[in-house]
Structure 1
Amino acid sequence: MSVLLFGITVGLAQPGSLVAYEYLGSMEAGEIETALNIAFGPDAPTSIYSISMYSVAYEIQKSDGTADTLSGAVAFPHDPTRAFPIASYQHGTTILDNAVPSITGLSPENFEIIFIAIVASSNGFITVFPDYMGLGISDGYHPYIIADPYTLAVTNLIRAIKHLPSEIDPGESFQWNNQLYLLGYSEGGYATLAAQKGIEESVLDELPITASFPMAGPYDLSGTMVDYFLSIPDYPQPFYVANVLFTHLDYYGSLDDLDQYFLPAWADTLPILFDGTHSGWEINDLMPDNPLDILLPETLEEFTADSSHFFRVTLAENTLLDWVPVTPTYLIHGMGDDIVPYANSEVAYIDFILGGALDVTLVNISESEGGHAEVALPCILYAYETMLLYQAVSPKGDIDGDGNLSENDFDLLVQSILNGAALGAFETWAGDWDYDGSHSIFDLTAISLAID
């Protein structure tokens, strides 16, 4: 069986397999620098490399055992003589199927994605962007603020991206050096911490994370977020709440039961509003100021008073507490956040520290910077600048991936040649100085001379 995606035909494959890809565009380093200078003036981030961007389709296996094809994008620097880290950026809330990274690409209509792509990739990161399950080409509703699907989207996109260099023009190829960063804001902050948790609990040996930067996410769903929704008369983004309730029922129950929880008009309308063709602003225009008013009165009463209510249980199931991160983790949040309260990050930080986490940092952005929307850029810039402190860009010969050539690299190559020591894809690339597809005395001599 085969499927036609992005203009090429390929066979259906295993989870993490690259199904299809399409070129989205390129930008020269000078072009990027000019654009950043116009946008930010003298404080503009620098740019070193020209970049290219591709959309990709890849396979996952859902928790029920069924397969799905997801989409995403990757932007990478141009320099075949160096290997770069992967930075997986999880985007903020969108409910439009055509507003995802694999479609908007380098278009200025999606500032969040183009900004991350040109800043991070032009400074030596292979930047990947999952669209998420239920968005882009994926079937069904997007499981909004549900932890496991984010892990599936992120981990399998990273696996798929490793196959892309062998498919595209060698002149535009790239190499990953095994460093991995996770970052995202708002829904993307939640997705980042959810993916970090999922990776640490199940595939950390395969995908060790160098550092993680969850920003302004609703991590404490069953505590901070429920208390916030129940305590305020209105909410600035009511469609967020409707989306959580609707997709939690879809994921954990059945949409046939909408009329058991929602007022009749909303039970009939929600499936249409969240079909991927309506924007959040459209839905907000229809919503009551208090988004919980779309619930039946008895549902709201039970939700308020009963911790065993269906929605309280699903929110608790997806609260990202009661685990201990082992990755260096920076919880970044604006103290004046009016959409996702700062307490989410504060509660998570305290929970992690009390649990024994050794490398978790709480970064608060001043209330004077503004609310959820206004503080997004300061949060992202803090994450990016901190990520640069960890970054290693690996030249040929850097087999240990620390960004430098040393005697240790020489010794590792000797072991590979003499003992047939098994090396991974990056280590094999790094030791192959003369690009002949093997390790030999010629590579050893070249690396020795480079070290000297």
Structure 2
Amino acid sequence: MRKLATAFLLATLTFSNVVGQGTLVEDTIILSLDYDDITDLLAENGVPAGLLPIDFEVDVHRVIYDTPDVDGTTPTTASGLVFIPKDDTCAMPMLAYLHGTKLKKDDTFYYLRGEWSLGVLTAASGYVACLPDYLGLGAGPGIHPYQHARSQATASVDILRSARIICDERELQLNDQLFLVGYSQGGHAVMGTHRMIQEELANEFTVTASAPGSGPYDMSGSQLDMVAAFEPYSVPGYLPYVIQSYQHVYGNLYTNIEDILAPPYDQTIPPLLDGSVGFGVLNAAMPAIPREIFQQAYQDAFFSDPQHPAQVALRDNDVFEWVPEAPVMFNYCRMDEEVTFLNTIVASDYMINNGALDIQIIERDSTIGHFACAQPSILFSKFWFDSMADLCTSSLSIEETETSSGFSIYPNPVTDGVVQFSNDHKMMVRVLDARGRELMSASQVSPNGSLDLVGIPKGLVFLEFSEDEKRTTRSLIIQ
């Protein structure tokens, strides 16, 4: 990107460390991205041209902020990124993206690693976007309390508070909308954060909608059954990562490491959990069947006693036994080999059976696994949010939209049910809703042709154009 190198030289704003959740310890603008920079970023991440609007230039803030430690009271700090659209014309919604599993301490947003570009793409369409690293990752001290619902939630809420401070400093307005999205560990974090806001912070925040994806919501049931089975598991490193986390949080899972881990794992595994190596290194050091790292006596005690400290810790981090008041859209893929889809079924069934009024369960694909399921889950969650968000401006409101293939669709919005195209050759067009579901199967459009959308529900839809192996997607509003 042409301007990224010079952007790192932008001014740094550093605030004194005042104890208080969300208080900024550091706020540094590390990138200032214009339209060309964001367009390049879209291309680098394989996002089809025209799929996501670029309505704003974006400032990227690297932040460190005050937040409580795992006991809920001891002050500590966490890090992350806050993305601010360059607009002061109206009030903007907030969005938090909560990330999946990371083991290496610097493989995080604070260091511009991982999927940090999601914050840019979200802010470019008008959201103030917050991407926390959680405790113990990025610039945060100590070890990461992996899959600990409460500290994931407090770190996520407190970066929202930090973002409000930044907006106040810049005299930018926020509206009262808040959207939460995350995948894998991030899905678990979304559920815990949404629950905390609804039950404890309703006087400060209101969740407009949340979209958890493929998360281990049922830690003590569905996910335990998958990880602790007598068969190979694709990511065996999850198990010791959780054990270290819950020992750190609760302190009662074992007295000595030799009590729980059998040789040689009592010596080989702990050094790999200090945040200095990536998850691939940990997985390579594990047996294919994760439970083989445990002493048999520990296994017997764990599975025979529902009040075993590890069983209690797992139940304490289940995040589905509550009833959301705001809409929730669960994303999952049935062939997920890392987080069983039964987590989604158990969680959604509980919520619906206990009176939740707006729970959607979307199977994104019946054939793909955990990693491949992430992109459609996150992308269509963002489209769903767009259909509810009060955004300052939107490329969806223009009269004519030119696609990357050099033709136009018009009018946009469409009011009479017929959309026109200025194409110079035949193309196939398919219509999808904001959740990625097909509303109209592929139809052939003649040069300078049209498509009759009568019968398609009003609202946000997507037109997917295909020509040979090329695909382009454009958004359209039907009024």
Give the Å deviation of 1:118: 2.4
Distance 2:288 2:173 in 1: 49
TM-superposed deviation, 1:392: 0.3
CA distance in 1, matches of 2:262, 2:124: 50
Q: 1:345 is matched by which residue type in structure 2?
A: T
Structure 2 equivalent of residue 53 of structure 1: 60
For 1:201 and 1:305, how far apart are their aligned partners in 2?
Answer: 34
Contact 2:152 / 2:192 at 8 angstroms: preserved in 1?
Answer: yes
State the 4+ residue runs in structure 1 displaced beyond 4 angstroms: none
Give yes or no for contact 1:47–1:123 (8 Å, CA) kept in 2. Answer: yes
For 2:15 and 2:65, how far apart are their aligned partners in 1? 13
Residue in structure 2 matching 1:134, options 136, 141, 160:
136
Q: How does 1:39-78 map to 2 (within 5 A)?
A: 39-42=46-49, 44-62=51-69, 63-78=71-86
Between the aligned partners of 2:13 and 2:103, the Cα distance in structure 1 is 25
What is the identity, as a one-letter code, of the residue corresponding to 1:183?
V
Structure 2: how far apart are the matches of 1:11 and 1:146?
A: 26
Q: CA deviation at 1:317?
A: 1.2
What is the CA distance between 1:11 and its match in structure 2? 3.2
Corresponding pairs, count: 379
Local SS of the residue matching 1:384: helix
Secondary structure in structure 1 of the residue aligned to 2:16: strand
- 2:321 maps to which residue? 322
Partner of 1:266: 265
8 Å CA contact 1:37, 1:44 repeated in 2: no
Q: Larger deviation: 331-340 or 26-35?
A: 26-35
What is the one-letter code of the residue matched to 2:119? A
The one-letter amino acid of 1:178's match is D
Aligned to 1:180: 178
Partners of 1:205 and 1:166 lie apart in 2 by: 19
**Which residue of 2 is the match for residue 162 of structure 1?**
164
Alpha-carbon distance in 2 for matches of 1:28, 1:43:
17
DSSP 3-state at the match of 2:370: coil
For residues 7-46 of structure 1, what are the alpha-carbon distances to aligned partners after superposition, in whole Å with 9 as ceiling and x for unaligned? 8462332222112111221221233234425623456322
Q: Could you say which residue in structure 1 is the equivalent of 2:421? A: none
Structure 1, unaligned stretches of length 5 or more?
Answer: 1-5, 396-452
SS at match of 1:163: helix
- Displacement of 1:269: 4.0
For 1:192-224, what per-residue CA distance to the aligned partner results, in whole angstroms no more than 9, with x for missing partners?
101111111100221101101111100011110
| CA apart distance, 1:230 | 3.1
2:225 is the alignment partner of 1:219: no
Report if the CA contact (8 A) 2:322-2:351 is conserved.
Answer: yes
Q: Does 1:354 align with 2:353?
A: yes
The alignment partner of 1:390 has SS state of coil
Contact 2:214 2:344 survives alignment (8 Å): yes
- Who is 1:25 aligned against? 31
Partners of 2:313 and 2:387 lie apart in 1 by 38
Worse overlay, 89-98 or 232-241? 232-241
- Counterparts of 1:184 and 1:270, CA distance in 2: 28
Which AA in structure 1 matches 2:309? F
Residue 253 of structure 1 corresponds to 251
Report the Cα distance in structure 2 between the residues aligned to 1:103 and 1:82, rounded to whole angstroms: 31
Partner residue of 1:113 out of 93, 112, 116: 116
Aligned to 1:146: 148
Q: Is the 8 A contact 2:227 2:236 kept in 1?
A: no
Per-residue CA deviations over 1:332-372 (Å, capped at 9, x if unaligned) read 1111111001110111000001111111111111222x100
Please give the secondary structure, in 1, of the residue aligned with 2:197: helix
Distance 2:294 2:75 in 1: 33
Structure 1 306/11 Cα, relative in aligned 2: closer, same or farther at 3 Å?
Answer: closer
Larger strand proportion of the pair:
2
Offset of residue 117 of structure 1: 1.6
Secondary structure at the counterpart of residue 351 of structure 1: helix
Flag the 1:175–1:103 CA change in 2: closer, same or farther, 3 A: farther
TM-score normalised by L of structure 2: 0.75
- The answer on whether the counterparts of 1:323 and 1:352 sit within 8 Å (CA) in structure 2 is yes
Q: Which amino acid in structure 1 is aligned with residue 284 of structure 2?
A: D
Relative to structure 1, the CA distance from residue 270 to residue 231 in structure 2 (aligned partners, 3 Å threshold; closer, same or farther) is closer
1:79 maps onto 2:105 in alignment: no
Can you list the C-alpha shifts for 1:397-430, whole angstroms capped at 9, x where unaligned? Answer: xxxxxxxxxxxxxxxxxxxxxxxxxxxxxxxxxx
**From 79, 89, 101, the counterpart of 2:97:** 89
* Identity between Structure 1 and Structure 2 (%): 28
Q: Which residue of 2 aligns with 1:199?
A: 197
AA partner of residue 307 (structure 2):
S
Please list, as runs of the form range in 1=range in 2, the aligned pairs for 1:329-368 lying within 5 A after superposition: 329-368=328-367
Q: Secondary structure at the match of 2:348?
A: helix
Letter in 2 for 1:243: Y
CA contact (8 A) 1:13 1:19 kept: no
Report the Cα offset of residue 69 of structure 1. 1.1
8 Å Cα contact 2:16/2:24 also seen in 1 = no
Matched to 2:22, the amino acid is G
CA offsets 1:165-191 (integer angstroms, 9 cap, x no match): 354xx5xx6432121111101011101
Q: Choose 119-128 or 261-270, whichever is displaced more.
A: 261-270
Distance 1:54 1:328 in 2: 29
TM-score by length of 1: 0.80
Equivalent position amino acid for 2:178 in 1: L
Structure 2 match to 1:443: none
Residue identity matched to 1:204: A
Aligned Cα RMSD in Å? Answer: 2.0
Shift of 1:376: 0.6
Q: Secondary structure at the match of 1:333?
A: strand
Matching residue's letter, 1:208: T
Q: Which one has a larger percent helix, Structure 1 or Structure 2?
A: 1
1:389 matched to which residue of 2?
A: 387
Shift of 1:308: 2.2
